[in-house]
Each structure stands twice: as structure tokens, then as C-alpha cells.
Amino acid sequence: MSSPKQLLESLGITPKKSLGQNYLHDPQTLDKIVENAQLPPESTVLEIGAGLGALSVRLAPITKRLVLVETDTRVQPVLTEKLSNYSHVEIHWADILETDIDAIMGKAPYHVVANLPYYITSAIVRQLLEAQNPPQSMTITVQKEVAERMVATPNNMSLLSVSVQFFGEPRIVMRLNPGVFWPAPEVSSAVVYIDLRKRPLPSVENQEQFFKIVRAGFGQKRKQLKNALARGLGLSSDEVEAWLQNAGVQPTRRAETLTLSEWAKIYHTASLFNKS
């Protein structure tokens, strides 16, 4: 089997740093990723950033429908040839952030398995989580630091961890060293499995308003919650302090210390104050 370097050289292709191209090529690592995806029989799978098809050829034999989204058309000869025997595989040559996921995936349940470009990981995750028909699970290779932020607990929470944990339960299932990629990235990587629930928890009526509050809370690093929310939402400190006290949250705490349930309490209290 040709290495990524040999395949690319045969096509006269140099990996583009602008696309975050680091090709995962270690066979054991690829097999383990598929195993950790826990795909049910006859699954529909979306793979983002199919690249040279190293993961795709492992997914194709075990899926009912495999949808690939790849932006680099230079690899078309390799990817098309590798998957030519699978009629249930679709390849979309497009930028995932400019792709209507609901349009290509439809309303049927599906799963995501992908080695995500590190420079747009958060944007892709947000796009998937906020889709009208989000995936049932996501098995994604990301930068180790990002993986740790996704699974963080109170005292180390961030906007990313709140966002991911609002929609599902993330856990790190693999840690990868740079040597399993070519070219080797300058950072370590991890595989995160996110089990998405049928409905977001905690339950809120207006997700947009909920995340507006959360974003404001994290908008001023190292600021007390009452000051960060006041500045981020354009309100007085006294008004925000009243919200927090009614929600049972100390106004002097910082956003990274809050649980999802506490964010929900702040949201519900703010909604009641706005109605009064």
C-alpha cells in the first residue's frame, strides 16, 4: 500500500498548510478509530475531509450509505479510484462550512467519523451540532488541547465545552502522537467520541438566547460573572446580580466554574426577569 507521501508525489501534489492537511495513515490507528465509532449495522456515515481515503476505505464496507465531503479536488483521482467498487458512496467536492449538511444528509439518522482540519474544528463542530438533523454520534480526530476543552469539567469549562456538552456526552477514546500523520503536525491529537442525545440537555426554550448568555459570560476572561454578563449583554451590574442571586449562583464566580445546570438556571431566571 502506498504511503500518503508516495501517493501525493505521484500526483505532483504538496500538502497545503492552509487546508490543515495532515494525512492519517497508520493502519492500526485507523482501524481503532472505526472500532471506537461504535457504528450500528447498516449505518449512514458522513466523513468530513476524506483526503486520500484511508478512513473511507474502512468505512465503505460496513456502511449502508457513506457521504464524503472533501474540498481538495487535487486528490480526486486517488479517492475516486479507491472507492469505485462501492455504489453507496457519495463524494461531494466542497468546503464543509459552505455545505448544507441537512440537504445532503436528509432526515435519516447518521453518524460522523472524521479527521477534522484543526484550524476550523470548532466551526465544523458547531455546524454539526446546530443542524436541523444533527448526527447521532461524532467520532472526530482533533487537536489534543481542543479534545481536553470539549470534555472539561467545572473550574475548566469554556464556551466550547458548554456547547458540546449541551448537545451530547463527549469522551476522549484515543490519544495520537504526531507520527501517525504525514506530514506530522506540530501538536498531539486525540479522538473524541460524542454521543448526542435526542434532545439537548438541559432543556431550554430558546437555544439562541441561552448561548447569547453563555457567550457573554465567557466574553471577559478572568472577570467575575456579574461583570462579564453585564458588559456582554449591555446591562447594569445590579440587574445581572439580581439574576444570579435568584438563580442561586454567586455573582462573584467566574464562567469557567459553572455547570450546565447553573447556566440553565441563569437563563430561566433571566427569562423571568425579562417578562416582568
Considering only CA atoms, which of 276, 274, 223 is closest in space to residue 252? Answer: 223
In sequence order, which residues have a C-beta less than 8 Å from that of residue 208 and are 6 or more positions away? none
Taking only the tens place, the pLDDT of each residue in 178-189 is 999 987 888 999
Structure confidence at residue 23 as a pLDDT band (50, 70, 90): confident
Q: What does the pLDDT read at residue 19?
A: 58
Beta bridge partners of 139: 113, 193
Of 48, 26, 28, 46, the residue nearest 36 (C-alpha)? 28
pLDDT tens by residue, 138-166? 999 999 999 999 999 999 999 999 999 99
| Cα distance between residue 31 and residue 36, in whole Å | 9
> With 60 as the cut, is the pLDDT of residue 275 above it?
no
Domains of the chain, by residue range, sit at 4-196, 207-275
Checking if the pLDDT of 45 tops 90, the result is yes
User: Which range, of 16-30, 31-45, 224-238, averages the lowest pLDDT?
Assistant: 16-30
Per-residue confidence at 273, pLDDT binned at 50, 70, 90? low
Summarize the confidence of residues 220-238 as an average pLDDT: 92
> What percentage of the chain has pLDDT greater than the value 90?
78
Does 207-275 carry CATH code 3.20.20.100?
no
Give 223's DSSP letter: -
Q: Is the pLDDT of residue 269 over 60?
A: yes
Query: Rounded mean pLDDT of the chain?
Result: 91
Residue-level pLDDT at 222: 81
Flag whether pLDDT at 276 surpasses 90: no
CATH classification code of 4-196? 3.40.50.150
Instruction: Kindly tell me if the per-residue pLDDT of 130 is higher than 60.
Output: yes
The average pLDDT across 95-112 equals: 97
